[in-house]
Structures are given as C-alpha cells and as structure tokens.
Amino acid sequence: MGTRKPLIAGNWKMFGKRADLVEIEKTLAAASHANAVEILFCPPATLVAEAAKFPVAIGGQDCHANTEGAHTGDISAVMLADSGARYVIVGHSERRRDHGEPDEIVAAKARAALAAGLIPIICVGETLVDREAGRTLDVVGAQLAGSVPAEAGDKLVVAYEPVWAIGTGLTPTSEQIAEVHADIRRRLVMRIAAEGEKVRILYGGSVKPGNAREIFGIDNVDGALVGGASLKAADFSAIIMAHPAAGV
C-alpha cells in the first residue's frame, strides 16, 4: 500500500437529523487510537456545517457541476467547502440510477469539486447483469475513463461499489474485489503514471464489522465507503478498528 493512508468513509445517504450527530462523537471516542486511519463522514447536506465542528473530515454526498445559478434544490461544491466539507461523493450508483447521471455529468461534478478545493470520491461499479455477463472490468473501466477529469491527477479517491452489493447484504468474493481493484490501479497508472499509485481505492457494498477485516486485507483496497453501517457508532467504529492500521 505504500504511503496511501487508509480512508474509511461513512455515507449516511438520506438518513440523519441533528440529534444523530452524537454518533460521530461516539465513533471518534471508540476509534480514538486509530490515528493512522483517516475517518470521513458524509452526512446529509443539512448537517454538513454542524458536523464540520467535530475534529474529523466531513464530506458532501453530491454537488452540482456549476458554482452557482438557478438550480433550485441543488448544492454547489463551493457551498459544501464553505460549510466545512473537505470531500464530496460523485457518481454514486444511486445518483447514476435515480437521477440518470452519465459519466460526463459525474466528471463535470468532479471537476467542480476540484475547483472548489474538495477531493472528489468518484464511484464506479457494475450491475448484477454486467457481472453475470462477464462485463465487469469493461464497465468499470469505461466509467473510470469517462468520470475522472484529466486534470484530477492524484487529487481524487476512487470507490468501487458493485451495484448488486449495495444494501443487499451480498458481498463479492475477495478474489472478485481484488481483480477489480487491481484493474482500477492498472488503469490509473496507465493514465497518470506513478501518480496512479497514490490514489486511494475504496471498496463499498455491504461492508460490515463481520467482513471488514477480510476486505481490508485485499491488495489495493485502501479503505471503505460504508453505507448503513456508518449510521451507528458501534458498527462504524468496529469497521474502523478492523483495519490493520487502526492499531498502529
């Protein structure tokens, strides 16, 4: 893994109210010795500013590609940065599916994030139909090529989230995860040479306390993008502490 600091990110999705911010405090207390692991919370946009008061990295779950404008209900990367965010998730499969976002839009959002000083977490992943048809590496590779702005360099994070494993309780085998992460790494190195070795690649999709240690032991897995299990401090801290670096 070299000098890549593990990143374990919690995506709260459309869950959480102000009272739930106590889970951040509880998580940090339970994982207080995990200094070698970077912890990130991505709460709903309504909580970003308040969550940013905690001594931990905070991120948004999405951003608009424009800095400002007549886009009712949307939030720009500049606004997230102004609220205290340091990261933003773009291209999550739920955005790609529910909002019909193609790679071009994801790349534009990532570009906006970079311009605002945020680190984009660019999500890629195949559906079950793709997996069963043997198209996984082609689909993920095409998403990577289309979603990562050329100017990003190594100032990004990639999250591999097989769509069929998100919130389903299903998890790919270690061999399947290793194959995809190795191919993502290969493509990043082909694209930006040695800088590609610096990019952190996270795994996401039904990461739980019971399987986290095995997942973290896979080559080129530099952390996790955790969904439901990040909402409760007991589960999320257990995932964080399952990383080998947590005890360093």
- pLDDT tens digits in sequence order for the chain, 248 residues long: 458 999 999 999 999 999 999 999 999 999 999 999 999 999 999 999 999 999 999 999 999 999 999 999 999 999 999 999 999 999 999 999 999 999 999 999 999 999 999 999 999 999 999 999 999 999 999 999 999 999 999 999 999 999 999 888 888 999 999 999 999 999 999 999 999 999 999 999 999 999 999 999 999 999 999 999 999 999 999 999 999 999 76
Catalytic residue of the set 23, 94, 126, 161: 161
Catalytic residue of the set 92, 101, 126, 243: 92
How far apart are the C-alpha atoms of 184 and 87, rounded to whole Å?
21
Q: What is the DSSP letter of 159?
A: E
pTM: 0.97
How far apart are the C-alpha atoms of 65 and 205, rounded to whole Å?
26
Alpha helices in 83-232 (DSSP H): 93-98, 103-115, 128-132, 136-147, 174-192, 212-216
Nearest to 156 by CA among 207, 91, 201: 201
Q: Which residues sit opposite 89 in a β-bridge?
A: 121
| pLDDT tens digits for range 50-104 | 999 999 999 999 999 999 999 999 999 999 999 999 999 999 999 999 999 999 9
**Residue-level pLDDT at 2:** 52
* Cα-based angle 215, 217, 222 (whole degrees, multiple of 5): 75
**Residue-level pLDDT at 167:** 86
User: Has 92 been annotated as catalytic?
Assistant: yes
